[in-house]
Structure 1
Amino acid sequence: MKSRKPIPLLKLRKRKHSQPGQSKKDQNLNINQNEDTDQEQAVPIHLHRELKKNIEYIKQMVGNSSDIVIREFDLGQTGEIKIAIFYTDGLADKSFVNDFILESLMVNIRTANLGSDVLSKKNIYEIIKSHSLPAGEINELVDFNKVFYHILSGDTVVLMDGFLKGLSIGSRGWADRGVQEPSSQTVVRGPKDGFSETLRTNTALIRRRIKDPNLRIETKQIGKKTQTDVSIIYLKDVADEKLVQEVKARLKKINIDAILESGYIEELIQDETYSPFPTVYNTERPDSVAGGILEGRIAIVVDGTPFVLLVPALFVHFFQSSEDYYQRADIATLIRFLRYFAFFLALITPSAYIAVTTFHQEMIPTPLLISLSSQREGVPFPALVEALMMEVTFEILREAGVRMPRAIGSSISIVGALVIGQAAVEAGIISASMVIIVSLTAISSFVSPTFNMGISVRILRFIFMFLAATFGLFGIILGLIMMVLHLNSLRSFGIPYLAPNAPFILKDQKDNFLRLPHWSLHSRPALINQQETVKENTASPKPPQPDEANQ
């Protein structure tokens, strides 16, 4: 049986300029294709030649904020050279500023051997730029937009009297959480490091795993007020160029005041808004992101959050864990089947119980039917109301456990569930069998490796319960058909959401429901990657000739 040819990247509908009847999402994304970020769109205000006027303008714009430090000093034989440095207290590394910037400009430059050059007002700019600053990151500034961006990002800006340009020195050094174990996607075997809230730390964790010069990290600022750094990371010779351009185009269209978390980006670039299923993958694990990049996916890293986005994201991607590739192939395959089974349990267990006990009692064995009937003898509510009461109560307990302080959150949720469930059964409000059904459903919903797919199941579960209470098993089957049709209509950056199952791609089945041994995983997904599809060269290298071996 031959596999189908890979489907080319589907062209998405282009958003037009805002019209009176346009949706809010389209209006937020409405921006000219030829324009870049808001920072680059703003009319540049060039620096003034007089240092005093530059200082006054900066003070005026920041409103004399106490965390903006301005240090003025003089250079030259008679102090004729006026210089000022600007940095934000708390964002810049004070030790670096004092030891490598201020000391270099105020002390070392006076005793430096400049050869034939004499420290003067004419050549002070080139001397400072080329000889005096022991820093690895130095940029030239000519307008105030860049000046404010670097100051408020933690860099140190140096301005000199008599020059229409200045310098920014990389001195970012704010306190961060550091690299810790991920809290949302834990594994038994595998790396324990997770992303943090610092962009450069996150890119370093990915670069540490993929030491390939073709790994591209491109950063831009999104958000008119926050100017949040957003980086896209991909392998140049692996990722599809059309996919890379599509990701850049969607990010370029974003026109919004603030980007405070990667969830903003996810909602603005996703293919389908009104769908319970996620089409953008997010994770705290650097190894998951590195694995996706090696397959041809593109990572989107947002400064200020430990959750990194990965696109395109397919349905099967949300049932795969990074631990699948650290365990043996047979164990990983068994666990994957267990996840899919738990997905269907969490989805239709309450609805199946409602349908069978309400419409299809003949399907239940007689001893079990007698037992269920005796349990429900004193229950005044139908099965649907009974299930809704338990499901809503459990959702409230689950949300309360998340929001409560950690010291008491878990105990409140567990004790609350046990006490409320037992009290409700003894009071005759619900049956004991319903407690078992709801407990099994709740446990099954936690099996999913990704939190957002578990939320999708929680939403759909209530829809299936109403269908089961109305039409019985026929309603459940109708709901499953509609769900599969909806899944078939979804795309993630132009890639069919149910690939490689619909369309069926035979060669990609080795890492779908099954996880074959690593030696057989020698090709990348066909639809995601259309350039370098082979992961490794299976041909054995040619042995050296005898004369070559003796040399």
Structure 2
Amino acid sequence: MSAISRNLKENEAFLRERFFNCSDIVFRSFALNDENVLLLVYLDGMTRLQGIEDNILKPLIFNGLPQGIDRLSTLAETFRREWLPLTNLFTDETQEDLVQHILQGNLGILVDGDASALIAQVHGYETRGIQEPKKESTLRGSKEGFVENIRTNTSLIRRRIIHPDLKMESYTIGKFTQTEVILAYMQGIADEKVLSEVRGKLGKIELNGVIESAYIEEWLENNSFSIFSQIQNTERPDIVAASLIEGKVALLTNGTPFALILPITFWSGLQSADDYFERFVFVILNRFIRYVMTFISLALPALYVALSTFHPEMIPSSLMIGIATARENSPFPSVMEVFIMMFIFDGLQEAGVHLPNQLGPVVSIIGALVIGQAAVEAGIISTPIIIVISLTGIAAYTIPRYSATLPFRLVRYLLMFISGMLGFVGFAFGIIFLLIHLVMLESFGTPYLSPVAPFDGRRIKDMIIRYPFWIKNGRNKKWRQR
């Protein structure tokens, strides 16, 4: 890296060449005693101009140099002592460091005769205000969600954990984006092995740019080819704070409102923030309903195909007669009927997600009603299929986290096809292979199915039954050492 020259014109020539065709880079030269002795360089739109004008430009224009300054070489010290008393200042010795700090929204101050540049942290730009998370809304609890500004996000966590043991290490990732990533953890509570592994992987990331935390997530996962995520993403600061207290690690990425939490287990995706905001008696029932509905969303289409195609004797006679009557005019086998309706349902769901908020629910509901009714009347799809797919879709919506529903969607298709070929035998093989994969999967040293496999009697209680906090806190030390 080239050092900053004492000649102001040489420094200006370098910067103008480096920022060629960058219309948002502003150069402001100032002459004192008929000589250009000062150059201000900043990025328009990312710098607080009011602070520059009040603290720098107006004193220079109206007051000139303060009394007692005999040589221009002392102008840099003047900035430090008199003109920027409230601004964080530091010094750059190389030209490339100066370029990077200007691009980050800081003000570069170059003085003729000084072989260093002053950097004033006066960056400021428009950001989205704190709002309620849309994908993780709760009936009770905080209505604050993360935003795209990383400093706002760290402050949301600091407001909830007021303790010096909360550590936040900064990393810069991305050749072109230079994205700041914060590793947050509770010292003395977080597992040092997990921290060491995360630090090592963060140091090895080689990307041209980091636009969203998902870029980092794929680099950190132990098994990137698994359909099950080993890192949880959330836009709720209260969930991050609770996870840090439990001994987990969080990653905050500048430019995205989603934080990453690790390690996690399979059951993390089935737990809602409301589980810890409502009374524990009602949470027991809610969790039971959620687990049952999760199994239904995964297995119901496959079970229907296996029963209706290979094992009709297991269905009560009156019900089987009704199903056979409804399917009398259908031109497709059961497995094709289920596949067609599942595919249409998932397509409507994707359309509802990506359409504007006002149109999404309307298109999903009307599309499902119109297509389903028309398909039944035309004899393409039988009525029981509509019931099965509708119940499957409703059951899938009971899963609190959208990212946790995606693996179930894929496994649902696989189980359906293998059940359509082998019946209950295929369904059993599919479930066995799924369990084998989950048992072998780990999230930063934590078994993915723990505390079920390996079995931990103390922790499994909190997975099924949400104990009162006055009981849970009594075993908090053991809980954090998982």
Residue of structure 1 equivalent to 2:42: 87
Counterpart Cα distance in 1 of 2:116 and 2:476: 49
TM superposition shift of 1:303: 0.8
Q: Please, which of 440, 464, 471 is the counterpart of residue 520 of structure 1?
A: 471
Residue of structure 1 equivalent to 2:161: 210
Partner of 1:118: helix, strand, or coil?
Answer: coil
1:290 aligns with 2:245: no
Residue of structure 1 equivalent to 2:18: 61
Amino acid at match of 1:74: A
Query: How many residues end up aligned between the 2 structures?
Result: 481
Amino acid at match of 1:268: W
TM normalised by structure 2 equals 0.96
Counterpart contact for 2:189–2:480, Cα < 8 Å = no
TM superposition shift of 1:108: 6.2
Residue of structure 2 equivalent to 1:540: none
- Which stretch shows the higher mean deviation, 162-171 or 301-310? 162-171
Amino acid at match of 2:219: L
List runs of 5+ in structure 1 lacking aligned partners: 1-43, 531-551
Residue of structure 2 equivalent to 1:103: 58
Distance 1:105 1:202, change over 3 A: farther
Counterpart contact for 2:73–2:111, Cα < 8 Å = no
List runs of 5+ in structure 2 lacking aligned partners: none
TM superposition shift of 1:239: 1.1
1:154 aligns with 2:111: no
Q: Please, which of 512, 529, 535 is the counterpart of residue 481 of structure 2?
A: 529
Q: Please, which of 434, 443, 451 is the counterpart of residue 483 of structure 1?
A: 434
1:73 aligns with 2:24: no
TM superposition shift of 1:137: 2.4
Matches within 5 A, 1:256-267: 256-267=207-218
Counterpart Cα distance in 1 of 2:405 and 2:223: 18
Identity of aligned residues (%): 39
Amino acid at match of 1:131: E
TM normalised by structure 1 equals 0.84
Counterpart Cα distance in 2 of 1:525 and 1:320: 21
TM superposition shift of 1:346: 0.8
Deviations 1:198-233 (A, max 9, x none): 111111111111111111111121000111111111
TM superposition shift of 1:172: 2.0
Deviations 1:233-272 (A, max 9, x none): 1111211222112111111100110100001001111111
Deviations 1:391-417 (A, max 9, x none): 111111111122222222221111011
TM superposition shift of 1:132: 2.4
Counterpart contact for 1:262–1:305, Cα < 8 Å = yes
Amino acid at match of 1:58: L
Counterpart contact for 2:459–2:479, Cα < 8 Å = no
Matches within 5 A, 1:326-345: 326-345=277-296
Partner of 1:519: helix, strand, or coil?
Answer: helix
Counterpart Cα distance in 2 of 1:459 and 1:104: 65
Higher percent of residues as helix: 2
Matches within 5 A, 1:48-447: 48-75=5-32, 78=33, 82-104=37-59, 106-107=61-62, 110-111=65-66, 118=69, 120-447=71-398
TM superposition shift of 1:528: 5.7
Counterpart Cα distance in 2 of 1:105 and 1:235: 47
Counterpart Cα distance in 2 of 1:179 and 1:379: 53
Residue of structure 2 equivalent to 1:8: none
Counterpart contact for 2:284–2:464, Cα < 8 Å = yes
Residue of structure 2 equivalent to 1:457: 408
TM superposition shift of 1:67: 0.5
TM superposition shift of 1:135: 3.0
Counterpart contact for 1:495–1:527, Cα < 8 Å = no
Distance 1:93 1:122, change over 3 A: closer
Residue of structure 2 equivalent to 1:40: none
TM superposition shift of 1:173: 1.5
TM superposition shift of 1:318: 1.1
Amino acid at match of 1:73: F
Counterpart contact for 2:251–2:259, Cα < 8 Å = yes
Counterpart contact for 1:219–1:232, Cα < 8 Å = yes
Counterpart Cα distance in 2 of 1:375 and 1:467: 24
Distance 1:79 1:210, change over 3 A: farther
1:47 aligns with 2:4: yes
Distance 1:448 1:137, change over 3 A: farther
Partner of 2:434: helix, strand, or coil?
Answer: helix
Partner of 1:299: helix, strand, or coil?
Answer: strand
Distance 1:502 1:81, change over 3 A: same
Counterpart contact for 1:376–1:431, Cα < 8 Å = yes
TM superposition shift of 1:376: 0.5
Deviations 1:108-131 (A, max 9, x none): 67457xxxx535323222232233
Distance 1:374 1:304, change over 3 A: same
Partner of 1:46: helix, strand, or coil?
Answer: coil
Counterpart Cα distance in 2 of 1:491 and 1:109: 65
Amino acid at match of 1:132: W
Amino acid at match of 2:192: E
Counterpart Cα distance in 1 of 2:334 and 2:59: 78
Counterpart Cα distance in 2 of 1:101 and 1:331: 61
Residue of structure 2 equivalent to 1:474: 425
Deviations 1:500-537 (A, max 9, x none): 2212222223421211000011244758637xxxxxxx
Counterpart contact for 2:55–2:83, Cα < 8 Å = no
- Which stretch shows the higher mean deviation, 276-285 or 317-326? 317-326
TM superposition shift of 1:106: 4.7
Counterpart contact for 2:73–2:112, Cα < 8 Å = no
Amino acid at match of 1:267: E
TM superposition shift of 1:104: 4.8
Counterpart Cα distance in 2 of 1:525 and 1:254: 33
TM superposition shift of 1:107: 4.8
Distance 1:406 1:87, change over 3 A: same
Distance 1:229 1:105, change over 3 A: farther
Return the structure number with greater relative CO, CA threshold 8 A, min gap 6: 1
Amino acid at match of 2:45: G
Partner of 2:172: helix, strand, or coil?
Answer: strand
